Amino acid sequence: MRKRKLSSGFTLIETIFSLVIFLILFLAISTLIVTIVKSSHDSRNRYQALILAQNRLESIKAMPNIEAGTYTYEYDVFSIEEDVAMIEDYKDRAYRIIVRVYLNEKLLETLESIKITR
């Protein structure tokens, strides 16, 4: 009786099948990584816009005298728009302040506050 020798190794079909599975997993993981990086970048921009808006709003509120009007500034890649309007229905001088921060004409952050001067 002759013994058959078992071949060790992979067939072409097994190799192709494992490559297809590997490619499917690689595409799924790479898509996930791209989505995570984009989300992280967007979050960083929104955080920077929030910090810019807060700083600008606090500096306006700290000024002893302010004038009503709309002002626009450029900071790095961001555009900052300030809208200062006098509130007429208040006994002292009161101003409504709105600070908006844009990135490539897309609104990222809006903060609003009131300043009362005597």
pTM: 0.73
Instruction: Determine the pLDDT at residue 11.
Output: 87
Instruction: Determine the pLDDT at residue 103.
Output: 94
Instruction: Determine the pLDDT at residue 90.
Output: 77
Let me know if domain 12-117 sits in CATH 3.40.50.300.
Answer: no
Instruction: Determine the pLDDT at residue 118.
Output: 75
Name the residue ranges covered by the structural domains of the chain.
Answer: 12-117
Residues of the chain with pLDDT under 70: 1-7
CB 49, CB 101: distance < 8 Å: yes
Q: What percent of the chain has a predicted confidence (pLDDT) above 70?
A: 94
